[in-house]
Amino acid sequence: MSDFSEFALQNWLLFLAFFAILGLLVGSELLRRMRGVSAIDAVGALRLMNDRDAAVVDIREAAQYKEGHIPQARHIPSGALRERVDELAKLKDKPVIVYCHTGSASQAASAVLKKNGFAEVYSLSGGLASWLDAHLPVSRKKS
């Protein structure tokens, strides 16, 4: 028996965890693609905002939004998005960037917008955390 096989047998729980995480990552990516949502990083989002006047939607809760948000972001909490999607109707032909805190909830919210006829929807990879990691500005003003 090779060293690798012996290691794998002795550490089967680690390998099980590795394949579970790998499956979740692949599944998440497949689900995102099936929903028709594109992911975008912080620098790409900034470029899209500057070059194509992309709209930004913050789906976090009110308290998180008040702590700091991307400048000019519209605040619609994820729980209210389905009921308030009409507020964004004039943006259907513009690029729209949706973000949450970490990027996981924004994928589902982006899919809601796509289902409601928005042509170009992006989910900010890593959410506001990635925006902050890129040292990009945040605002505490109400937009």
Q: Is 59 a catalytic residue?
A: no
How far, in Å, are 1, 12, 20, 29, 32 from residue 26 at the CA level?
31, 21, 10, 5, 10
Look at residues 130, 109, 131 and name the one whose alpha carbon lies nearest to residue 118. Answer: 109
120 within 8 A of 96, measured Cβ to Cβ: yes
75 within 8 A of 69, measured Cβ to Cβ: yes
Annotated catalytic residue: which of 40, 100, 112, 128?
Answer: 100
For residue 11, give both structure tokens: 């550490």
Look at residues 89, 86, 65, 90 and name the one whose alpha carbon lies nearest to residue 75. Answer: 65
Q: Which residues are catalytic?
A: 100
